[in-house]
């Protein structure tokens, strides 16, 4: 195994040559987390504003999906390249470049006068997010190497990853309702400015140890394969999984990624060294993260529609209704996982975490048109948040542990790829299952109302979501070694 992150020079200032000082390190974590929060928020904040943006720019229902898709395609397709950029040019430079670019793209998105301008700017947002996300995570991996500090740092990251989407719904609802939909994009500018100022002041400008060559063919194969897979999942929402175009995209994606693996095993300068991917614990962490995000994003999808379409919540009310899930995720990651992770094997947190989240999803299978928020949705949100919080902290730490510091960016990018693919597949799969169940129910029950059919579809999707999370617990049990690193030095 390659050298661990503990051998890396600290990316923070070192007074007296004795390493990074605690206050500066923890303050820097706040600004790094702010950059990650911006990326997490953007995954959902625009969704609440989409109906208003559609009315303002006058585009069709068929075209509206591209406001989200243009972002996710660029983000998911370029993540591996973004991770390698962080390793090659230095993480401080990469983070500042990503923050500046994301802010500029957000400004152009908010000022869009037509759909093509909005889509192009959203794609740019996704491209810069593909640099930001792995850079922020790799900075944590090489900065926090002590067991307790590492657990706390990844608790912050896990809490943000688990709650940022719900926070985006709240903020998006408030900005859309009280200001204008464009502020859902403009809001990134002050966040990026504050984060950039803190990064510039607190992080040392550490240069990469040597000039690295980019694996251009690997970039093309990986990016093309990931774009095809994410696009296939997106198109499956409207066309179904058996549509010729969806099947073609899936085939292209799988073939491209298979060629990518073959090429990476032979080239001298791989974009993604396969030892990173094929390590048992790390590979298991990637798979568990993908399954966790697939389940939680599926819940976001049908709960959002249940609250607004069936229960008639306003955008702001719907966003506020997700706050308990955010709070539970922060509790699970901060008060539970971060305290236990230095003392227990990662599997001891991940397996129960998945089971708790699966229990929360199972509660949602009992949804009815008349279900109350306090009696049905609130308990499910608390269980989902607690469970996913306990999963993401050890998964993130395992995924970036025991990696050569020069490859921390690409290891972090691979975790982000897993999450992006999990989100795309989860949303597409559960949305398709819900729509199909609704159609069948309404066709076989003529007396049923549309609301009855919708809720039946949501409950069906929830049962599949519970199955995904339960299956993920078995993956964690089988792949994550109970004797895996205790996050000691060098983890």
- Give the span between the Cα atoms of 451 and 444, in whole angstroms: 15
Least confident of 13-27, 242-256, 322-336, 366-380: 13-27
Q: Which residues contact 28 (CB under 8 A, 6 or more apart)?
A: 12, 143, 198, 199, 202, 203
Residue ranges of domains in the chain, CATH in brackets:
20-214+271-479 (1.20.1250.20), 217-270 (no CATH)
Whether pLDDT at 16 is above 50:
no
Torsion of CA 171, 173, 177, 179, to 10 degrees: 30
> Which of 174, 172, 165 shows the shortest CA–CA distance to 36?
165
- Give the span between the Cα atoms of 441 and 454, in whole angstroms: 9
Calculate Rg over the CA atoms of the chain.
Answer: 21
pLDDT of the residue at 212: 59
Question: How would residue 111 be classed by pLDDT, with cut points 50, 70 and 90?
Answer: very high
pLDDT of the residue at 1: 34
Task: State both tokens at 256.
Answer: 């491209």
Q: Which residues contact 373 (CB under 8 A, 6 or more apart)?
A: 311, 321
Whether pLDDT at 74 is above 90:
no
Residue 490 C-alpha from the chain's centroid = 26
Question: How would residue 355 be classed by pLDDT, with cut points 50, 70 and 90?
Answer: very high
Determine if residue 181 is left, alpha or beta; phi over 0 gives left, psi from -120 to 50 gives alpha, anything else beta: alpha
CB crowding 69-107: b at 16 or more within 10 Å, else e: bbbbbbbbbbbbbbbbbbbbbbbbbbbbbbbebbbbbbb
Mean pLDDT of 207-217: 64
pLDDT of the residue at 405: 67
- Give the span between the Cα atoms of 364 and 336, in whole angstroms: 24
Measured on CA atoms in the order 118, 180, 328, 361, is the torsion positive or negative? negative
Three-state DSSP class for 357? Answer: helix
Q: Which residues contact 225 (CB under 8 A, 6 or more apart)?
A: 252, 253, 254, 255, 256, 257, 259, 260
Listed in order, strand segments (DSSP E) in 303-353 are: none
> Which of 234, 229, 285 shows the shortest CA–CA distance to 255?
229
Whether pLDDT at 221 is above 70:
yes
Whether pLDDT at 403 is above 80:
no
| pTM of structure | 0.76
Most confident of 8-22, 52-66, 275-289: 275-289
C-alpha distances out from residue 344 to 41, 274, 486, Å: 31, 28, 7
**409-458: per-residue pLDDT in tens?**
777 778 878 887 887 778 778 887 888 888 889 988 888 888 899 899 98
Q: Angle between the 378-400 and 280-305 helix axes, to the nearest 10 degrees?
A: 150
> Which of 295, 251, 334, 259 shows the shortest CA–CA distance to 425?
295
Mean pLDDT of 230-255: 84
DSSP-assigned letters across all residues of 118-162: HHHHHHHHHHHHHHHHHHHHHHHHHH--SHHHHHHHHHHHHHHHH
Size of the chain, expressed as the number of residues it contains: 491
> Which of 21, 35, 36 shows the shortest CA–CA distance to 143?
21
399 compared with 102, residue with greater pLDDT: 102
> Which of 121, 176, 79, 185 shows the shortest CA–CA distance to 412?
79
pLDDT of the residue at 18: 35
Whether pLDDT at 293 is above 90:
no
């Amino acid at each position: 195994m390659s050298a661990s992150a503990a051998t890396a020079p600290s990316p923070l200032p070192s007074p007296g040559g004795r390493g990074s000082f605690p206050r500066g390190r923890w303050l820097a974590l706040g600004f790094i987390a702010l950059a990650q929060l911006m990326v997490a928020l953007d995954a959902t904040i625009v969704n609440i504003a989409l109906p208003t943006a559609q009315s303002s720019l006058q585009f069709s229902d068929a075209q509206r999906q591209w406001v989200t898709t243009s972002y996710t395609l660029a983000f998911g397709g370029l993540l591996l390249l973004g991770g390698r950029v962080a390793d090659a040019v230095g993480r401080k430079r990469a983070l500042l470049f990503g923050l500046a670019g994301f802010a500029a793209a957000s400004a152009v998105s908010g000022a869009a006068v037509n759909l093509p301008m909005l889509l192009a700017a959203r794609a740019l947002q996704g491209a810069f997010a593909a640099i930001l996300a792995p850079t922020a995570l790799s900075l944590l991996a090489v900065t926090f190497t002590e067991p307790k500090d590492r657990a706390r740092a990844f608790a912050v990251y896990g809490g943000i990853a688990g709650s940022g989407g719900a926070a985006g719904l709240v903020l998006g609802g408030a900005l859309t309702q009280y200001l204008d939909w464009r502020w859902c994009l403009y809001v990134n500018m002050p966040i990026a400015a504050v984060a950039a100022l803190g990064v510039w002041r607190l992080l040392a400008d550490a240069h990469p140890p040597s000039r690295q060559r980019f694996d251009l063919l690997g970039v093309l194969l990986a990016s093309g394969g990931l774009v095809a897979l994410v696009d296939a999942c997106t198109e499956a929402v409207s066309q179904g999984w058996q549509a010729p175009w969806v099947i073609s995209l899936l085939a292209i994606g799988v073939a491209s990624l298979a060629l990518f693996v073959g090429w990476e095993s032979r080239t001298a300068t791989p974009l993604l060294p396969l030892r990173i991917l094929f390590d048992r614990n790390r590979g298991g962490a990637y798979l568990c993260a993908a399954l966790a995000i697939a389940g939680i994003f599926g819940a976001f999808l049908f709960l959002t529609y249940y609250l607004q379409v069936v229960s008639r919540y306003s955008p702001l009310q719907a966003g506020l209704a997700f706050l308990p899930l955010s709070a539970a995720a922060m509790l699970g990651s901060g008060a539970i996982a971060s305290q236990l992770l230095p003392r227990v094997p990662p599997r001891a947190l991940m397996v129960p975490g998945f089971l708790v989240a699966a229990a929360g999803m199972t509660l949602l299978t009992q949804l009815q048109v008349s279900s109350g928020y306090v009696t049905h949705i609130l308990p499910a949100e608390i269980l989902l948040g607690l469970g996913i919080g306990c999963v993401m902290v050890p998964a993130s730490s395992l995924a970036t542990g025991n990696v050569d510091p020069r490859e921390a960016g690409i290891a972090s990018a691979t975790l982000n790829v897993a999450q992006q693919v999990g989100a795309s597949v989860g949303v597409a799969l559960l949305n398709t299952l819900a729509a199909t169940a609704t159609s069948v129910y309404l066709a076989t029950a003529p007396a049923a109302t549309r609301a009855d059919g919708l809720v039946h579809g949501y409950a069906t999707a929830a049962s599949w979501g519970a199955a995904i999370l339960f299956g993920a617990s078995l993956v964690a049990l089988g792949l994550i070694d109970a004797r895996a690193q205790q996050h000691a030095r060098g983890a």
